[in-house]
Amino acid sequence: MARIIGALTTSHVPAIGGAIAKGLQQEPYWKPFFDGFIPVRRWLDEARPDVAVVFYNDHGLNFFLDKMPTFSVGAASEYRNADEGWGIPTLPPFKGIPELSWHVIEHLLEREFDITTCQEMLVDHAFTLPLKLFWPEGDCPVRTVPVCINTVQYPLPSAKRCLALGRAVGEAIASWDSESKVVMIGTGGLSHQLDGERAGFINKPFDLKFMDSLVAEPEWATQFSNHELVERTGTQGVELLMWLAARGAVPGRVRKVHSNYHIPISNTAAGLMALEAI
């Protein structure tokens, strides 16, 4: 059966793409952020996963405010990205793995998750930038399964529901008849608000507590409603739901390989974690 080796979580600020395109990784503003990925890449070089299941949120590339599925899963042989106008490089297509996607989809339906199945799917910076940060050289070496969670248009799924989604995805992976090694990736956040009266809002104490909780107590965040999460993290900080789903997909205990927290990156608290399954 397939083996889940751990989870990676990271922010996906669009400006990261511009920094990569312009070669700004060693500039003082960016260096503390990009240096945080070096230990994670070493771990990936040793662990050598075959597949990445990516929990992320779409920013209008596939779904807009008039049609916003709560949960959707990609089932394509490849996933192409488009330039969103932020200086993000347009990357080669990311390889899919339809047989695993359909296995996950069928398992989620059995677990009574009503999902949207996407046999064609574009991917935006929330999907592409984390993969480029973890594997910066050449084409992405892993095959991918995109799992999109709505954190854009209310009503949003609760933290409890997203944790349960992750656990159901983890069950599907563990029952997949394959020798593949699978890593879970959750992207987005952490605390930030891009508009309104609280534009620029960052809550470092909450972010650090949330990151700590993912190691031994992922249920901690489920005590908060989405309105409470927005109050504590900003309107876009609710993207931490993707982190929660990725952690939920890793069964049992984990060991923290590395973490990094840096503010601000484009008015966002940029977090990073690598959690290894024990």
Cite the active site residues.
Answer: 125, 192
- The Cβ of residue 129 has, within 10 Å, a number of other Cβ atoms equal to 25
C-beta separation of 228 from 170 below 8 A:
no
Tokens 């106008």 label which residue?
85
